[in-house]
Amino acid sequence: MQRAQYASRGPVPQAVIAAVDFTLSALRAGQALIQVLAAPINPSDVLTLTGAYGMLPALPAVGGNEGVGRIVALAADVAASKLGQLVLLPVGSGTWSSHLIADASQLIRLPEGADVEQLAMLTVNPPTAALLLSEFVDLKPGDWVIQNAANSAVAGYLRQLAHSRGLHTVNIVRRQSAVAAIAGGEVVLVDGDGLAKRVAAATGGARIRLGIDAVGGQATDRLATALGEGATLVNYGAMSGEPCVISPASFVFRDITLRGFWLAQWFRRAAVERQQQIFGELAGLVASGQLSARIQSRFPIEQIKQAVAAAAAGERDGKILIVPKA
């Protein structure tokens, strides 16, 4: 058995993590042994390795916060019918591992026959996208949403979900080379000067009630200027590494509201039934092929350093997955 472990944090994320051999302890009452099939590397995982994320596990730790696996062994008191089930790995359970042990009652069963690699990305980015669309503004079919970092995984899911709900999207990217990678984007623009005028021209002057910011810095202010009066702007990331900047004019004269969103906080507050509802809906969309994300590369655990380096690179065209050898 192998897992990707780190005992320190530092500015070069791939330098602090390494593949190590390990032996699991015996199963205790209520537990299941899961063979990990696939687990992605998210931006939050990279920030965790550098120490810049908002919630850091105690060291030493195993990397990975989401993934999918199959139950291969059960404690004697767990119903044998669970054996062989395809399940969503518990959030924050150290999923960059060939195997892990979890509480069997907390495992969410996944539909068989679906793309396992797509299901592996179900826990973080799809619910983030879904909740950004539903928790802040009561959007109706025909409404517009604007988002930056539009070539990111969250933005891709948000576009697909918006389309399924009859919403229109304006997608802002940071470089011209990223425009072609946006599939299904009705409007795609490169960030920069005069963004509000360009957005208005592309949308026919539509009043945009919701903005989604993953960049921070001056990019936040440019999104704010493109929004309609009384709109809400939600920040969920800081890809620029800078604090959100927004003009007082947007607050005072145009009544723009700036909010923040962190999925980990939502998990702490949401009832279990609500979480299961969200995952059930999203798993169904993934299984039917209506919700997916691009995958750039796949790495075994022993190549974790190369995998993390690839995930931390500035220009990618899809997710990096850890796919343990069977």
- DSSP one-letter string for 26-86: PPPTTEEEEEEEEEEE-HHHHHHHHT-SSS-PPSSEE--S--EEEEEEE-TTS-GGGTT-E
The answer to whether 2 and 62 are in contact (CB under 8 A) is: no
Residue from 6, 53, 157, 236 carrying the catalytic annotation: 53
Across the beta sheet with 187-190, the strand order is 187-190, 168-173, 144-147, 210-213, 232-235, 257-260
323 contact partners, CB below 8 Å, separation of at least 6: 37, 38, 117, 298, 299, 300
Query: Distance (Å, rounded) from C-alpha 314 to C-alpha 308?
Result: 12
6 is catalytic: no
For tokens 């399940």, what's the residue?
87
Q: Residue 66's closest CA among 127, 16, 112, 18? A: 127
Query: Distance (Å, rounded) from C-alpha 260 to C-alpha 212?
Result: 10
The answer to whether 193 and 221 are in contact (CB under 8 A) is: no
Query: Distance (Å, rounded) from C-alpha 267 to C-alpha 174?
Result: 30
SS3 9: coil
Q: Is 69 exposed, middle or buried (0-12, 13-18, 19+ CB in 10 A)?
A: buried
| Residues classed as catalytic | 53
